[in-house]
Structure 1
Amino acid sequence: MGRPEAGQRFEEIYLAYYADLLAYIRRRVDSHDDAADALAETFATAWRRLPDVPDAHAARLWLYGVARRVLANGRRTATRRSALVERLGGQLARWAESTAPPDDDLEAVRAAFGRLYADDREVLALVTWEGLTSDEVAVVLGCSPGAARSRLHRARKRLARELSHAGVDVARYGVRALALAGRKV
Structure 2
Amino acid sequence: MTDAERFTRIYDAHHRQVYAYAVTRAGRAHADDVAGDTFLVAWRRLHEIPATPLPWLLGVARNVARERYRDEARQAAIAAELRAWVRETEDDVAEHVTDRAVVLAALGGLSEDDREVLTLTAWHGLSARDAARVVGCSTATFFVRLHRARKRLRQAMTATRQSRPTQTKEYSR
Normalized against structure 1, the TM-score is what? 0.37
Normalized against structure 2, the TM-score is what? 0.39
Decide which structure has the larger Cα Rg and report it.
1
